[in-house]
Amino acid sequence: MSRRKKGQDIHGWIVLDKDLHLTSTDAVTRVRRAFDAKKAGHAGTLDPLATGILPIALGEATKTVAWLMEAEKSYRFTVEWGASTDTQDREGKIIATSDVRPSKEAIEAALIGFIGEIQQVPPIYSAIKVAGERSYDLARDGEVPELKARTVLLIEARLVDVPDTDHATIECRCGKGFYVRALARDLATALGAEGHVSALRRTSVGPFHESAAITLEKLQQVCNSDAASDSLLPVETALDDIPALAVTAEEAFRLRQGRGIVLLPHQVEELRSKRRPRVVSGEDMSRAALATLQGQAVAIGDARAGRFEPVRVFQLSASD
């Protein structure tokens, strides 16, 4: 007798408002169990110290995680002046102290210098791999891994509050691979001060915002009722910034079998007009589009030479 697969076929996105101290892995496990789902994953690790938006994909939505990893993210964080730590946050060991307390005007002026594409060295306590090992594992073993500066994008950053001379709260919007803890470290250096992140909250990831977020406690309550599906956002939500291609039922059938379809001239022109540079998991996806049937995701594909060839196919029923 064959073993029955555990869990149900649940498809969609949960915009989790992650609690303090909860790891991203534990959050995924708890959401998957709450829905009794077969498959789950998250789009972008959130430190245990941080709270806020952790998008969790269930079922077929896991096929879109790589796309969401490329999305812009927004954070609200507080820098505590006076001490720097080895982790650049309040959980680390103090490695330097200073009596310097930057003024509101000095902080605002210094932030301007970080806007745009900058070179940023990731914190040694990060998931970056060095010779096949995670940097944070090496650091915990007493080694000091050499991490190279990387080009990252800080779209905007602004000082929103100075509750007292020891603290400054900042909001920022950034691209992939940006570290808020590294920004706090470098900002303190630019100001001739010492500082670390004492509070951190992620307020958005791509199309997912705080307004749609749900806490784990609330989600578990909902999952014990008949309203569990109300918390799920459609699979295609993570793909809201790529061109959509409406297809017929017959074309959807072909695409789900992994076969390409012919595009009409007006479809070719429309997709071409919406094309923009895009790299996903290191691959050029500038010609990518999302084929949909009555608004539901059918396949992510490559549109070129008058054809649409599926790259990722979604097996969703009308009820999903």
Name the CA radius of gyration of the chain, rounded: 22
Place of tokens 């969401």: 68
> Which residue(s) pair with 157 in the sheet?
172
Handedness of CA 221, 26, 154, 72 (dihedral sign): negative
Exposed / middle / buried, residue 112 (Cβ in 10 Å: 0-12, 13-18, 19+): exposed
Q: DSSP label at 211?
A: G
Neighbours of 191 (CB within 10 A): 22
Known catalytic membership, residue 284? no
Cβ-contact 301, 308 below 8 angstroms? yes
Instruction: Give the β-pairing of 244-246 and 288-293.
Output: parallel
Dist CA 173 CA 202 (whole Å): 10
Phi, psi of 308 (to 5 degrees): -120, 115
58 close to 39: Cβ distance less than 8 angstroms = yes
Distance CA 226, CA 252 (A): 31
Active-site annotation holder among 19, 26, 47, 164: 47
3-state SS assignment for residue 65: helix
Backbone angles phi, psi at 36, to 5 degrees: 55, 45
Cite the active site residues: 47
